[in-house]
Structure 1
């Protein structure tokens, strides 16, 4: 049982990073419009986040310090501030969307208007981040998020044409009624969603929270190589279900409710119950990740005491940042902004911020002052360099594609 819980951090990070409110809807939307022709992007994203999460976790385990803390020390306060501003803007925007996503999940379960749930969701997230121990948080929401495996079960029950699905995966093409620019826009969005900056900072800081040492490198790698691929497989299952049910009817997915409808068709009421549990756990877990990441980043840059492993009064400034971020997030949401739209924009802006996030991690992971014999080897550096090129291309293309396609319209 202890070994099972040892990978809970990776599961929580994967569920919260790969399958948040934006990914739930974006994967459904992509599946309903493009089928499985963009699965290759998810696969590339899985490998990329595994590469940099492993570096980030290794830095944390060997040095005993979070990656963002070392980025500021290694590259200087100016480079650290640039990294902070870029990642914080994306993370705060995502935090708003995730609290909105919790409200959407509660609306589906209760039929009570989402805007009545938003203050409740924000307060619940803050209370959990303030009072609940880190181990309880990761175990509860990480494992509850596994309820989203119901999408894979539903796909099986739908008895699709497996040969057709494999053809879409293995021979990706742009549908006749879609433009190449729109196809590329969603490719960049999926890539940005898979490699969102807060994921690696949360994972690294979580390692410090759990007091990893060099002896825990095996556990850390299990977290990475089990958790993130699991999140990716769930994302692909969501897209596949939408492709089977909605693509033949030319119905475009635009809401969280539409994502869950095929589950009821395939499995029934019990399946819907699992889907709702998964929606809530994934969005709440993502809200916890992003909320903590806001506090982690600012506190680590400024050298404050931080983390849930210390008494709240000893990390008062850290918890104050989290509280203020929650108030701002709920305030913005109550202006009636669409949380799904917020997340769609956040994943695109995430792509823009990727080079500022991953280049410093690659630098720190090569520094033997911090890592000694655990510094990057040839394989890690080769993969890291290849992905740096990819994130630069995605960053350059993101905004022009968003403008040309009017955000994928």
Structure 2
């Protein structure tokens, strides 16, 4: 990529920052620790699926100059249908992100503790000082209302986590033969079915469609700029996939090969130190911090974009309604992370709502990409076939999410 094109990246980097969070780090790490390199193909598939949907979201945002939320509001003219759509988006995107925001901030705090134990040794047992500081950093960046500043901060964080996780990957000396076999030869070991679904689900998420479709319209105003948006996508999403692959491969070489059991985020960095030295532990801590704080920025931002669109609020990152939306998500997550609260009931509700929303949003996106409003930029036959294939996967993911929420599986 030329330097000029590199400087033009941005919105798709937000998507990468959003899906590479503590949840992805834990899911990929547990997949590698429990099944070695065998499930790498699932990450490769999820990156391809994400690129298909995110390209549609970007095209929709640039051509219509409206985010997915605005398009949903415009498409549902009848009051009952419109309020159903509003309730669905609020429950899954807004409340769901508020619940998971606690995990983003807590994960970033764990990363800080991994490379600065002495500094935070005197922290209170009841209040997490790193979590409070991370919440404050996210607040200041979002409150600025400056899209360029937020975009550049996220690009920096994605670059930081890329360097940290790829360096950790190199330090742990993975088996490249097994790695390429896991990428190119699909297989599901015994007991790995739910892990496969979880790996795909950490990348193909509905709120990224709201985030991307709205953020591209902040950066590009003309459909002739679609090529720039696609270059941004082609660079940023595969980079996120590479990070996920590095995390899984690191866990496979560090934990699976040495038969070390890991269950929680705060065990990851500490478990690496005896095997590969303190450098590996520090690098993983830096990566976890960057992943957590980047997701702590994008989760409130995505919720605010979705709320602004579906409720028809005034445009602008500095508008009162937009700020109120992201502030509610950020503060909810900050309180949860700072006090160590486990919002089981809220997460259960978010899981149910997300299971309903993911296939619905995917289906709506496909519908919208075939409307006359897009003119020559409508989906072609190949794009529709690829989109339908991804829709089938989202239905399976949504079904699994609902069954899991109700304790059936």
TM-score by length of 2: 0.86
Specify the alignment match of 1:155 in structure 2.
Answer: 169
Rounded to whole Å, the distance in 1 between the matches of 2:75 and 2:363 is 12
Q: CA deviation at 1:231?
A: 0.3
Q: CA deviation at 1:400?
A: 3.0
Q: Could you tell me whether the CA contact under 8 Å between 2:29 and 2:251 is conserved in 1?
A: yes
Rounded to whole Å, the distance in 2 between the matches of 1:80 and 1:402 is 21
Mind listing any 5+ residue stretches in structure 1 that lack a counterpart? none
Specify the alignment match of 1:48 in structure 2.
Answer: 49
Specify the alignment match of 1:281 in structure 2.
Answer: 290
Q: Does 1:391 align with 2:397?
A: no
Q: Could you tell me whether the CA contact under 8 Å between 1:100 and 1:118 is conserved in 2?
A: yes
Rounded to whole Å, the distance in 1 between the matches of 2:306 and 2:278 is 42
Rounded to whole Å, the distance in 2 between the matches of 1:321 and 1:200 is 18
State which drifts further: 200-209 or 79-88. Answer: 79-88
Mind listing any 5+ residue stretches in structure 2 that lack a counterpart? none
C-alpha spacing 1:102/1:228, structure 2 compared with 1 (3 Å)? same
Q: Could you tell me whether the CA contact under 8 Å between 1:21 and 1:343 is conserved in 2?
A: no
Q: Could you tell me whether the CA contact under 8 Å between 1:157 and 1:266 is conserved in 2?
A: no
Q: Does 1:12 align with 2:14?
A: yes
Count of aligned pairs: 394
**SS in structure 1 at match of 2:37:** coil
C-alpha spacing 1:320/1:168, structure 2 compared with 1 (3 Å)? closer
Rounded to whole Å, the distance in 2 between the matches of 1:307 and 1:65 is 12
Rounded to whole Å, the distance in 2 between the matches of 1:68 and 1:26 is 29
Specify the alignment match of 1:39 in structure 2.
Answer: 40
Q: CA deviation at 1:215?
A: 2.2
Rounded to whole Å, the distance in 2 between the matches of 1:397 and 1:269 is 39
Rounded to whole Å, the distance in 2 between the matches of 1:316 and 1:401 is 37
> Cα deviations across residues 355-400 of structure 1 (Å, max 9, x unaligned)?
122111111111122x111111111111111111111122112343
Q: Does 1:201 align with 2:204?
A: no
Q: Could you tell me whether the CA contact under 8 Å between 1:60 and 1:207 is conserved in 2?
A: yes
Q: Could you tell me whether the CA contact under 8 Å between 1:155 and 1:237 is conserved in 2?
A: yes
Matches within 5 A, 1:3-402: 3-17=5-19, 19-76=20-77, 77-84=82-89, 85-111=91-117, 112=120, 113=123, 115-131=128-144, 133-149=146-162, 150-173=164-187, 175=189, 179-180=190-191, 183-260=192-269, 274-308=283-317, 312=318, 315-337=319-341, 350-369=354-373, 371-401=374-404
> Cα deviations across residues 262-315 of structure 1 (Å, max 9, x unaligned)?
87679866665554443322221111111111211112111111332xxx3xx1
> Cα deviations across residues 63-98 of structure 1 (Å, max 9, x unaligned)?
111121011111341353244133333322222221
> Cα deviations across residues 171-220 of structure 1 (Å, max 9, x unaligned)?
45555xxx53xx12111211111111111111111112224321220111
**C-alpha RMSD of matched pairs (Å):** 3.0
> Cα deviations across residues 207-261 of structure 1 (Å, max 9, x unaligned)?
1222432122011111222211110111011110110111022222233344445
